């Protein structure tokens, strides 16, 4: 690899990492316009493993905006990012795949402004598919693979006696 190619790869890794971070911040802040802007025109997201929907960006934004009203406090922590770059066949655009683990603590809305409302925590793995566009890197797909969740005892099934 030449130094120019190595530098371009490093810059792409920074851009891809920034896009994944922007994704987490947009969801946590409920900034649905910013969320939309992260996706390529054909972008899709799949939240079915976490009890959500699969669809195009507009469908998913509608579902997220409504669902996240239950959780006024959200904080995605996305770690262990594994980035792989590729070239689209018979296309000039570059692609990337990111596999990243997440833990997502959230707080249920409470009657007292949320300070004593119970917490909900889940974790799993994201699979991001990205494509380089004229506007920079964009998400082509996001797939959530929820592996576990911890809900407040009051929301859990009572223990069998």
CA–CA distance, 150 with 124 (Å, rounded to integer): 12
- For the chain, the residue count is 161
Average pLDDT value for the chain? 88
Average pLDDT over residues 27-51: 97
Q: Which class for 146: exposed (0-12), middle (13-18), buried (19 or more C-beta within 10 A)? A: middle
145: in domain? yes
**Structure confidence at residue 153 (pLDDT):** 65
160: in domain? no
Q: Residue 106: give the domain boundaries.
A: 3-152
- Choice between 153 and 31, residue whose per-residue pLDDT is larger: 31
- Residue 81 in this model has a pLDDT that exceeds 70: yes
Distances (CA, A) of 144 to 41, 51, 80, 100, 114: 20, 10, 15, 10, 26
CATH no. for residue 8? 3.10.450.50
**Structure confidence at residue 13 (pLDDT):** 93
159: in domain? no
Give the H/E segment covering residue 62: helix 57-67
User: Shortest CA distance to 11 belongs to which of 142, 139, 136, 138?
Assistant: 136
158: in domain? no
Average pLDDT over residues 5-11: 82
- Residue 31 in this model has a pLDDT that exceeds 90: yes
- Residue 72 in this model has a pLDDT that exceeds 80: yes
Q: What is the pLDDT of residues 89-141, one digit of tens each?
A: 555 458 999 999 999 999 888 755 556 667 889 999 999 999 999 999 999 99
26: in domain? yes
Number of domain units in the chain: 1
- Choice between 93 and 58, residue whose per-residue pLDDT is larger: 58
Q: What is this structure's pTM?
A: 0.86
CB 126 within 8 A of CB 78: yes
- CA triple 88-94-97, angle to 5 deg: 90
**Structure confidence at residue 110 (pLDDT):** 75
How would residue 7 be classed by pLDDT, with cut points 50, 70 and 90?
A: confident
17: in domain? yes
3-state secondary structure of 47: coil
- Residue 22 in this model has a pLDDT that exceeds 80: yes
């Amino acid at each position: 690899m030449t130094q120019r190619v190595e530098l371009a790869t490093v810059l792409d890794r920074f851009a891809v990492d920034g896009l994944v971070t922007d994704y987490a911040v947009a969801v946590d802040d409920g900034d649905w316009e910013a969320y939309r802007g992260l996706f390529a025109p054909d972008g899709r997201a799949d939240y079915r493993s976490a009890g959500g929907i699969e669809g195009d960006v507009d469908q998913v934004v509608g579902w997220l905006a409504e669902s996240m009203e239950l959780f006024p406090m959200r904080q995605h922590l996305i770690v262990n990012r594994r980035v792989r770059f590729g070239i689209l066949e018979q296309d000039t655009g570059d692609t990337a795949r990111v596999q990243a683990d997440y833990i997502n603590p959230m707080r249920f809305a409470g009657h007292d402004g949320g300070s004593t409302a119970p917490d909900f925590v889940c974790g799993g793995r994201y699979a991001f598919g990205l494509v380089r566009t004229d506007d920079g890197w964009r998400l082509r797909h996001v797939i959530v693979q929820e592996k576990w969740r911890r809900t407040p005892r009051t929301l859990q099934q009572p223990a069998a006696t």
